[in-house]
Amino acid sequence: MNRITKRQEGFSIVELLIVTVLFLIVMAAVFGILQMAVTMRDSLDNSSEIMNAARVSINSAGRDAVNAGLGYSRVGGVVPDDLASTLIGIPMDPNSDRDVFTAIMAGNDVNSSVLSLPGEKNDVVAFMYRDLAFNSGAPMIINSVNYSPSIIDLRGAPGSCVDCRPFDLFLVESGNGNHALAMATAIVDTNSTIRVETGDPLSLNRPTDSSPSQRSILTPCGGGITSNCLTYSPQGTAKRVFLVSYGVNSQGVLVRTLYGNNAGAPASEQIRELPLSNGVQSFQVRYLLQDGTYTDDPSNANVDQGFMNEIVQLEMTITVKPKDGLSNLTRNQVVTLSSTFSTRNIKYDIE
């Protein structure tokens, strides 16, 4: 009787190695495709994120630019010398005259950050406009002024300053049409008096007993004082105003800074920096003047402050880099966004 033997065969070691190598090659290719897809997704997400941040920044600055000059002053408000430099960062002027805060204040090539390209600096721009919600849209009428070396009291009728608050920023207009900025440090006499004391958070208020060029411009004229003073007869007015600025800090963050008007907050919180966009490589502003010319520096390094009243249009450009630590595909990617805004409110006032 013959015995039939079945032979069992399997993969050889060589065949198994070949299959394994082919499998690894296919998986590596699949992994590479997946990795590329993830990188592209991250790139798109990052582009969308930085584009949105840039757009929010431009829109915020645009709203303030459009409001610039609304109900403010055609010529601006007088402030102490060099306050534009110490407070906002605009270049220091070469003279000892008092500064004027106009509806738009321009600082060209002011500072650089860790993200700035070699040799490039960022601009700063500030805007001023009236708070039309104050006192139901009407200015507070100043009937009389009392003062001591460190205090000036702007007195109105009883209850005329119900909307007034400590650390509000006011544009004070004298009876002969001159303007000056002041910060309220207290509201007294049953909501009828704006008290302006030295030592305010903006270093805006000055004493009345200093030399004529250094004393408070709110000092009433009369009694031998004929210059560097305000004439309140027949009456003056006070209007609450906003002051905001935009600039890039040393870490490459575009910041919107608000000065005063922080109701209920202490003096230490009256200059507020609100970050808008991270990773800013460049922030530039170009200005169109009434004569049709374009300039990056309408005030000529803060020498000719009056020319800032000739601005009719601003073009703001922001360039934003992606976050650190991204792949090679996105590391060198930048987003640039520009927008133009008209300054329709600079040349008129609201009484």
pLDDT band for 327, please (50, 70, 90 cuts): very low
For residue 80, cis peptide bond before it (omega within 30 degrees of 0): no
CA distances in angstroms from 329 to 32, 41, 145, 252, 268, listed in the order given = 14, 11, 66, 22, 44
Q: What is the pTM of this model?
A: 0.84
- Cα-atom radius of gyration of the chain, to the nearest Å? 31
Report the pLDDT value the prediction gives residue 224, as an integer from 0 to 100.
Answer: 86
Average of per-residue pLDDT across 22-46: 69
Average of per-residue pLDDT across 299-325: 82
pLDDT band for 5, please (50, 70, 90 cuts): low
Is beta strand 254-259 parallel, antiparallel or unpaired with respect to 236-248?
A: antiparallel
Tokens standing for residue 327: 């792949």
Report the pLDDT value the prediction gives residue 197, as an integer from 0 to 100.
Answer: 97
Summarize pLDDT for 202-237 with one digit per residue, the tens: 999 999 999 988 999 999 998 888 888 999 988 899
- Domain ranges (residues) in the chain: 49-342
Q: Count of CB atoms within 10 A of residue 121's CB?
A: 18
Summarize pLDDT for 95-140 with one digit per residue, the tens: 888 999 999 999 999 999 999 999 999 999 999 999 999 999 899 9
Q: Is 43's pLDDT higher than 80?
A: no
Report the pLDDT value the prediction gives residue 303, as an integer from 0 to 100.
Answer: 78
pLDDT band for 94, please (50, 70, 90 cuts): confident
Q: Is 54's pLDDT higher than 90?
A: no
Report the pLDDT value the prediction gives residue 164, as an integer from 0 to 100.
Answer: 95
Report the pLDDT value the prediction gives residue 29, as an integer from 0 to 100.
Answer: 78
Report the pLDDT value the prediction gives residue 91, as an integer from 0 to 100.
Answer: 86
Report the pLDDT value the prediction gives residue 51, as an integer from 0 to 100.
Answer: 74
Summarize pLDDT for 273-289 with one digit per residue, the tens: 999 988 899 999 999 99
Report the pLDDT value the prediction gives residue 329, as an integer from 0 to 100.
Answer: 47
